[in-house]
Structures are given as C-alpha cells and as structure tokens.
C-alpha cells in the first residue's frame, strides 16, 4: 500500500503570536515551530498501516525551507521518503493554496491512501483534506477514528476499506469506501511513537524530493485585519500568593457567585 501523509508545520502552542507592522499576519520569523498535532496522528496511523499491510509511507508538505524540520521528524519516526513543495511565499498559504501546490506532485505518485489531520493548529480552516481529495479526484471521509483495510480486496488500488467516522456528541458511524481515497484523521486515534536515535540517524539518509510550486497560485482568502479577540465577559482576575488567591476565589464563589 502506497500511503501519503500530508503534514503541516505550525507555530508551537506555547508561542504567543505577535502581529506584523500592517497587522494582517503574524511575525512568522519570530515563531517557533512544530508538527501540526492532528497530522502527527495521521502519520502514526500511516506507519501502523504499513506495518500491517506493507508498502511505503511518503510525507508531503508545503512551505518555506523551515518546513524541513517537521519533514525530518516524520522521517525519523519512520516515514520512507518525502516530497516538499518549497516556496518562501507559501508560509502563510491557506488550505486551498496548499492543496493546489501539492496536487500535481501527488498525482504523479498515484497513492492508494492519503492521510492528513482534520485541521491545522494555526489557521484551522479544516478544509485542506476534502479540497485535496476533490483535486485528486478521490473519495474522502473526515474526522476518522479507525481505519480497516479489507484484506480480501488486496492492499493496492481498488482495495476496500472501512473507516470509523466521528460524529457530534459521542456518536460514530462506519463508512465503507474504495481506495484510492483520502481520510482526515482525528487526534487520539492511536498512541504516538517518538523518534528513536536510530530513526534520527536513518532519517538523514532518506530522500526529500523538492518540487517548485505550480505557477499562478492565487489565494482565495485575504486577511484584512488580525487582532486579539474581544472579551465577552468582564473577567475578575484574582492575584496574590497561591493561598491569598485561593481564599479570595472561594470567598467570591460563596458570596458573589453563590456557586458553592
């Protein structure tokens, strides 16, 4: 089974975003970066499927040179090789642009299965997977918690698979579909593995194929302003030492909010 994993490099959760001079984007060069967490679960699922059914796991990513950090990490965790659509201007690419940048390089590879996270921790459009599926002409399903390949149908193109899709409020649903197909993976589908020293060493020799983006990529979304959210409530901030803060909070919860 030839499996593609689309991963995105995103600012770390701990990084407090700072705005650029025009207040339309973040100061990208000041951020520290990591692998988008839902994509890490997609990678893990791809590695497990390869262990079970054989084949190859290829990491695909879009963005500036800095993206190599998360590509190397994915290779260290066990992916076989990578495709990097590299361009400095793609650091702030939206989901449509990123899918358009990847589609021709991915089409050549003719993957049986494409996995990616259900959304990104930075822009959070939750669009990339279903958009890429449409551009590749393959069926998709989203927010997946389990992937079973039906062994009686083989593991190549045309194999049938059954996936468990998460619905709202604790409901689930099984969906059967043919491959090639694209799935967006929900966090928590598996337990993540971490790179071993051996894996990190091996990753250095693995191939990262760099591809230039296609000409004429145009974003469909224009950010005209970026700002901190407005508070919907007047929050009472309670300071002091831990003991003082605890005393004050409990007093207010008893006397003011009557919540105790």
Considering only residues 60 to 119 of the shown chain, the ones binding other proteins according to CB under 8 A are: 95-96, 99, 118
Check binding of 124 to other proteins (CB under 8 A). Answer: yes
Q: Please report how close the Cβ of residue 38 comes to other proteins at its closest, in angstroms.
A: 10
Check binding of 215 to other proteins (CB under 8 A). Answer: no
The verdict on whether omega for the bond into residue 180 sits within 30 degrees of 0, i.e. cis, is yes
Q: How remote is the C-alpha of 203 from its chain's centroid?
A: 21
Q: Please report how close the Cβ of residue 202 comes to other proteins at its closest, in angstroms.
A: 27
How many chain residues interact with other proteins (CB under 8 A)? 82
φ/ψ of 52, rounded to 5, equals: -85, -40
Q: Is 109 helix (H, G, I), strand (E, B) or coil?
A: helix
Site string (129-148) toward other proteins, x via CB under 8 A: xxx-xxx---xxxxx-----
Which class for 198: exposed (0-12), middle (13-18), buried (19 or more C-beta within 10 A)?
exposed
Of these, 191, 194, 215, 216, which contacts other proteins (CB under 8 A)?
Answer: 191
State which of positions 170-189 bind other proteins (CB under 8 A): 170-178, 181, 186-188
Q: Please report how close the Cβ of residue 81 comes to other proteins at its closest, in angstroms.
A: 27
Check binding of 28 to other proteins (CB under 8 A). Answer: no
Piece in contact with other proteins (CB under 8 A), picked from 42-50, 63-71, 74-82, 215-223:
215-223
**Distance between CA atoms of 79 and 3, rounded to whole angstroms?**
10
Q: Looking at beta carbons only, is 162 or 210 nearer to other proteins?
A: 162
Q: Please report how close the Cβ of residue 10 comes to other proteins at its closest, in angstroms.
A: 9
CA angle 216, 217, 220 (to 5 degrees): 125
**Distance between CA atoms of 147 and 186, rounded to whole angstroms?**
11
Q: Please report how close the Cβ of residue 76 comes to other proteins at its closest, in angstroms.
A: 21
Give the DSSP H or E segment for 95. Answer: helix 95-109
Structure tokens at 166: 């998460």
């Amino acid at each position: 089974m030839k499996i593609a994993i689309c991963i995105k490099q995103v600012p770390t959760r701990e990084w407090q975003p700072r705005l650029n001079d025009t207040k339309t984007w973040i100061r990208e060069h000041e951020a520290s970066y990591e692998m988008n967490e839902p994509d890490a679960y997609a990678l893990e699922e791809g590695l497990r499927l390869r262990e079970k059914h054989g084949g190859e796991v290829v990491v695909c990513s879009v963005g500036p040179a800095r993206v190599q950090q998360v590509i190397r990490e994915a290779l260290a965790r066990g992916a076989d090789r990578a495709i990097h659509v590299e361009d400095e201007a793609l650091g702030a690419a939206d989901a449509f642009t990123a899918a358009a940048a990847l589609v021709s390089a991915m089409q050549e590879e003719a993957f049986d299965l494409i996995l990616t996270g259900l959304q990104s921790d930075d822009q959070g459009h939750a669009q990339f997977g279903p958009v890429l599926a449409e551009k590749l002409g393959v069926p998709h399903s989203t927010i997946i918690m389990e992937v079973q390949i039906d062994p009686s149908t083989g593991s190549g193109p045309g194999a049938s698979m059954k996936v468990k899709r998460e619905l709202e409020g604790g409901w689930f649903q099984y969906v059967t579909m043919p491959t090639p197909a694209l799935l967006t993976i929900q966090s928590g589908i598996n337990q993540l593995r971490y790179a071993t020293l051996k894996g990190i060493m091996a990753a250095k020799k693995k191939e990262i194929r760099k591809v230039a983006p296609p000409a004429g990529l145009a974003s469909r979304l224009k950010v005209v302003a970026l700002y901190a959210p407005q508070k919907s409530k007047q929050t009472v901030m309670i300071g002091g030492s831990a003991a003082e803060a605890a005393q004050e909070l409990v007093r207010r919860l008893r006397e003011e909010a009557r919540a105790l």
